[in-house]
Amino acid sequence: MIIDKEHNSYFRVYVEDVDHMGIVYHANYLYFFERARTDMLRDFGLSLTSMAKYGTHFAIRDVHIRYFHPARLDELLTIKTKCTRSRASTLEFRQLMYNQTNHLLSEVIVCVVCVNDHLKPKRLPDTLLKE
């Protein structure tokens, strides 16, 4: 079961991620967090492409993000991802972003909804729910 399991992902900040001051552009934090959630799902045996073949997709319902300190060019980031809640068709994730000195940079709470090809809610795959 994915609930309460923590997953770590690691990313380097490149020029494409930053603004003219060498600081990660605020919207780009969401890219890092998305990649970390995708890595977590993959490590639990679910690739987004294989899910799509069966008409199963994830759509973002809510995002709440807080910025504490800026992420900067060439920093190595660690994103700790934890699924904190599941319901029939939704998962809630809490993600924390740290730099290489273990400074907390950002936190996001994301709620994703499992949907079918017609964007209607669908039960979560058993792979996520079984022990």
Q: Where are the domains of the chain?
A: 6-129
Confidence of residue 1 (pLDDT cuts 50, 70, 90): low
Question: Is the confidence at residue 128, as pLDDT, over 80?
Answer: no
- What's the pTM? 0.91
Q: Residue 54, class by beta-carbon neighbours within 10 Å (0-12 exposed, 13-18 middle, 19+ buried)? A: exposed
Of the two residues 46 and 84, the one the predictor is more confident about is 84
pLDDT value of residue 129: 64
pLDDT value of residue 91: 93
**CATH for 6-129?**
3.10.129.10
How distant, in Å, are the alpha carbons of 32, 40, 53, 102 from that of 90?
21, 16, 20, 30
Pairing status of strand 104-115 against strand 76-86: unpaired
Print burial letters for 69-79: b (CB count within 10 Å at least 16), e (below 16). ebbbeebebbb
pLDDT value of residue 4: 77
Which residue, among 14, 21, 29, has the nearest Cα to 73 in the 3D structure?
14
Question: Is the confidence at residue 95, as pLDDT, over 60?
Answer: yes
Q: Which residues are catalytic?
A: 19
Of the two residues 47 and 105, the one the predictor is more confident about is 105
pLDDT value of residue 49: 86
Residues 119/121/124/125 CA torsion (nearest 10 deg): -50
Question: Is the confidence at residue 131, as pLDDT, over 60?
Answer: no
State mean pLDDT over 57-73.
Answer: 97
